[in-house]
Amino acid sequence: MKNKRFWNQFFTYVYLIFMTVIIIYPLLITVTSAFKSGNLISFDLSFEGELTLNNFRRLFNDTLYGTWYMNTLMVAVVAMFIQVTIITLAGYAYSRYRFIGRKSSLKFFIVVQMVPTIAALTAFYVMALLVGGLDTHGFLIFLYVGGAIPMNTWLMKGYFDTVPIDLDESAKLDGAGHLRTFAQIVLPLMRPMIAVQALWAFMTPFGEFMLARFILRSPEKYTVAIGLQQFINDPRQQRVTLFAAGAILIAVPISILFFYLQKNFVSGLTSGGTKG
């Protein structure tokens, strides 16, 4: 038993060390590249050379990075609020109510989710032309929210199912209506899943490239994912240090939101919610 426990712990630590190296290595390359003076033609993990903040100043003085950053923040915040609102209401409806087409629509959500985004790019382009959404942030937000609804509605419904329905029935006996039951009884217990959904929705515009590049055409309307790609898309003019500096700044708002929401990333809030 001792030998078995030893080998289990040994392979567990080896696996954790391996995964840590895989995660930290590219981060170290990005950080060291962001603070190097001059310019680099390729990413390289090296601690040699003078460290400087000049790359960050160049981002905002010599490029449109500040505009891209504000565009992304706007898209992320709006998409987050709309997506969380729709998914929360949809998940509650699918969990608590029985209506015609409920099972069929849930199955349809799964089928839609199986279609890769690249297969729908032509349809998105035609739709953007029809509604005048090409090169607009509003249509990009619409695609982000619409693409997130199917799978996240399933996840939200599953979490609503873990909330005892006895709470709803008790509230109804006390005279609470559907909206009051949802807002004051059930919704506070959903904070962990709502926090996760909010973080996912907020992160998407910062890292998503394909849809944004397909919809947005004007440089002043780019998001940071498209803008940063401009620094390294030309093999003859690589601006690696600017790319690395911009990539680091992406993590700032995401980290702030994560630390703000982390107190909600817990489970078991509904345990003990009912008697017996």
C-alpha dist (Å) from residue 105 to 123, 145, 151: 21, 18, 12
pLDDT for residue 275 is more than 70: no
Residue 41: the pLDDT is 61
Asked if residues 164 and 272 have their Cβ atoms less than 8 Å apart, the reply is no
Asked if residues 198 and 84 have their Cβ atoms less than 8 Å apart, the reply is yes
78 HSE (CA, 13 A, CB side): 14
pLDDT digits (tens, 9 = 90+) for 67-125: 999 999 999 999 999 999 999 999 999 998 888 888 898 888 888 878 777 788 888 98
- The DSSP 8-state label assigned to residue 17 in this structure reads H
Type of residue at 77:
V
Type of residue at 212:
A
Q: CA angle 218-224-228, nearest 5°?
A: 90
The model's pTM is 0.84
- The DSSP 8-state label assigned to residue 270 in this structure reads T
Higher pLDDT pick, 73 / 190 = 73
Residue 225 and residue 230: Cα distance in Å, rounded? 9
Q: What mean pLDDT is predicted for residues 37-56?
A: 73
Q: Of the candidates 264, 265, 97, 106, which has an alpha carbon nearest to the alpha carbon of residue 181?
A: 97
Radius of gyration of the chain (CA): 23
pLDDT digits (tens, 9 = 90+) for 212-246: 998 999 999 999 999 998 888 877 777 888 888 99
State the pLDDT confidence band at 248, using cuts at 50, 70 and 90. Answer: very high
- The DSSP 8-state label assigned to residue 183 in this structure reads I
State the pLDDT confidence band at 276, using cuts at 50, 70 and 90. Answer: very low
Residue 14: the pLDDT is 92
Q: What mean pLDDT is predicted for residues 45-51?
A: 71
Residue 179: the pLDDT is 86
Residue 43: the pLDDT is 65
Q: What is the DSSP string of 69-105?
A: HHHHHHHHHHHHHHHHHHHHHHHHHHHH---TTHHHH
State the pLDDT confidence band at 274, using cuts at 50, 70 and 90. Answer: very low
Residue 116: the pLDDT is 78
Higher pLDDT pick, 12 / 5 = 12
Residue 227 and residue 77: Cα distance in Å, rounded? 19
9 three-state secondary structure: helix
CB within 8 Å of 264: residues ≥ 6 apart: 191, 192, 194, 195
pLDDT digits (tens, 9 = 90+) for 139-163: 999 999 998 898 899 889 988 998 8
Which residues does residue 122 pair with via DSSP β-bridges, in sequence order? Answer: none
Longest dimension (CA), the chain: 72
Q: Report the residue count for the chain.
A: 276
Q: What is the DSSP string of 106-151?
A: HHHHHHHHHS-GGGGHHHHHHHHHHHT-TT-HHHHHHHHHHHHHHH
CB within 8 Å of 229: residues ≥ 6 apart: 209, 213
Residue 28 and residue 52: Cα distance in Å, rounded? 16
